[in-house]
Amino acid sequence: MKPSSSSARIWRITSIASIIATLLLIGGFVYAVNDVVNPVGSSYTAGDSAGSGDTGSQAAVDPATEGIRIAAMGDSLAKGTGDDEGSGFVRRTVNLLQQQGVDAKLVANLGINGQKTNQVLSSLEQSGVQHTLRQSNVIMLSIGANDLFNGGEALGNLDEQAPTAKQLLTNQPQAAARLQKILDRLAEINPDAQIIYLGLYNPFGDLKELRVPGNQAVSAWNMKATGLTNTNEHMMVIPTFDLFQNNLDQYLSADHFHPNGDGYEQIAQRIVQSIR
């Protein structure tokens, strides 16, 4: 059986190609096994390798030319939990601003359900969080409710016990100290940004035994927060206490803790009024 010339050519090409390919792949296989089985850790030094380094992490926005760039961080309120549309006050603020013809954009929403002050404080040391904050000129912060109300963070968990009046007050001093640290750190990371702190409301106003202690704890906290922000011209507190005081049935979502869409819309309107 003498192979035809085309067969001979096919054979020559495939055999050479496959031998090269096989050797290459065996090499890769040995390399991979060795690298996975005996990994040698080494710290990476950002060199000239990637073209991504450039100005990225430093460039802060210029408010004059860039319009409003919003970053949000904090707890479930920042995230928008309870809003059927999933927008929350952050997205709704952006939308309202855009409707008014303002060049507003959401850089990122870093709100995480159930976050407390200590978690936000430690997240501020992460480079990705810092970078995001530097990309914005308005930083919205909602934090403290989970520190104060302890159990409320268990989302949608209606069996969760409401906090006692005593708890409401005992958690406060440490949380306030951490709030101060958060605000200081924010101002350090992005000194030019407008920092908007969302004041607390009392979600337990319709529970008889918690109405008064809740009100006291929340307004004490809000006073504290106002005191902290007053010292910095770039900071302000957006009050929500009065908004919810007599409208809990209207503005709270089914979990009796988070605002619903209407509640968030009210908050967003207040922010828009203050922001400009």
Question: How crowded is residue 55: how many other Cβ atoms within 10 Å of its Cβ?
Answer: 6
CB of 205 closer than 8 Å to CB of 211 = yes
Q: Which residues bind another protein (CB under 8 A)?
A: 3, 7, 10-11, 14-15, 17-19, 21-22, 24-33, 35-37, 39-42, 44, 46, 49-50, 52-53, 56-57, 79, 107-114, 126-129, 131-132, 135, 155, 157
- At closest approach, how far in Å is the CB of 186 from another protein? 15
Nearest residue (CB) to another protein, 153 versus 265: 153
Identify which of residues 37 and 64 has a Cβ nearer to another protein in the complex.
37
| Three-state secondary structure call for residue 82 | coil
**With respect to another protein, which residue has the nearer C-beta, 51 or 101?**
51
Residue (107 or 140) nearer to another protein, CB: 107
- Angle, CA of 259, 152 and 275, to the nearest 5°: 40
Question: Is the four-CA dihedral 112, 116, 118, 120 of positive or negative sign?
Answer: positive
- Angle between helix axes 88-99 and 261-275 (nearest 10 degrees) is 50
**C-alpha to C-alpha distance for 255 and 115, rounded to whole angstroms:** 17
CB of 132 to another protein, least distance (A): 5
Minimum CB–partner distance for residue 40 and another protein (Å) = 6
- In the chain, what are the helix, strand and coil shares in percent, each to the nearest 5? 55, 10, 35
Q: Output DSSP code: residue 3.
A: P
Distance, in Å, from the CA atom of 241 to the CA atom of 201, rounded to the nearest integer, reads 4
CB 211 to another protein: min, Å: 28
Measured from the CB of residue 140, what is the shortest distance to another protein in angstroms? 14
Q: Which is nearer to another protein, 53 or 191 (CB)?
A: 53
Residue number, 31 or 209, with CB nearest to another protein: 31
C-beta of 112 vs 220, nearer to another protein: 112
**How near is the Cβ of 42 to another protein at its closest, in Å?**
4
At its nearest, how many Å lie between another protein and the CB of residue 267?
20
Please give the Cα distance from 48 to 25 (Å, whole number).
29
Q: In the complex with another protein, which residue's Cβ is closer, 75 or 265? A: 75
**Shortest distance (Å) from residue 86 CB to another protein:** 12
- What is 125-194 written as a DSSP string? TSHHHHHHHHT-SEEEEE-SHHHHHGGGGSTT-TTSPPPPHHHHHHTHHHHHHHHHHHHHHHHHH-TTSE
Is residue 129 within 8 Å of residue 123, measured between CB atoms? yes
Q: Which amino acid is at 183?
A: L
